[in-house]
Structure 1
């Protein structure tokens, strides 16, 4: 009986570890309930970065002359320092990201993001970041 219990506990711990390992192999981040905003967390050589993209905006800013790619819908902030709007040729929009429900908070690597019906606000430890909504995007 004791051996059967130990075997079941071992099997359960292996399954739990496997599920946890699988969960960590995909992208780390979230998407808004409307699926209009997606954010992903990256750790490049111990440099934490949070990037958020917004798919639909009422108005897009003018693309800078030195940007030959897309501009206006991607935002990035490092763990320290200011946030910025990106010139980009890729996206972090990913349908497999979990939804961050309205009123919920997401935290990882020194970043905090809050989901509200008005949009998503994210900031770093320096309280620098961005607020994203279909009607307005703001870097602070």
Structure 2
């Protein structure tokens, strides 16, 4: 026969489950808060996604994209980077700021913050540079 938990124990179990499910995102934002990047580990496949909110110009949305396009970039730890069609964002004010001149590294990715923008690349040295005036995939 199961006995019920005291209210305090039930509260602590609920709090522990909630805090585990809502762990802080891994990544950073630029000092201007115009670029945010988050790191994800999907079944042992590392992914870095960076979003830029303010751009001087936006590319034309492809016909096969019914969502937002132009401000989100993604790459795996190996292979090419890409601009993606997306319906969400990784912009998060709780992300720490990566100061100008600082470098962030995780899971095969390296990103550098400069006054001219954020540049990120993977182990294959493929990646992107994001700035208000220009976005570039290399």
Q: Same fold (TM over 0.5)?
A: yes
Which of 125, 136, 140 pairs up with 2:123?
125
Which of 54, 57, 63 pairs up with 1:56?
54
Q: Report the counterpart of residue 29 of structure 2 in structure 1.
A: 31
Q: Report the counterpart of residue 75 of structure 1 in structure 2.
A: 73
Structure 1: runs of 5+ lacking an equivalent: 1-20
| CA distance in 1: counterparts of 2:116 and 2:125, whole angstroms | 19
The structure with the largest helix share of the pair is: 1
- Shift, 1:109, TM fit: 0.2
Structure 2: runs of 5+ lacking an equivalent: 1-18
Q: Report the counterpart of residue 13 of structure 2 in structure 1.
A: none
TM-score under structure 1 length normalisation: 0.83
Q: Deviations over 1:83-107 (max 9, x none)?
A: 0000000000000000000000000
Question: In the TM superposition, what are the counterparts of 1:1-140 in structure 2 within 5 Å?
Answer: 25-140=23-138
**Number of equivalences:** 119
Structure 1 residue ranges (4+ consecutive) displaced by more than 6 angstroms after TM superposition: none
- Shift, 1:25, TM fit: 2.2
| CA distance in 2: counterparts of 1:37 and 1:103, whole angstroms | 15
| CA distance in 2: counterparts of 1:110 and 1:132, whole angstroms | 19
| CA distance in 1: counterparts of 2:55 and 2:92, whole angstroms | 18
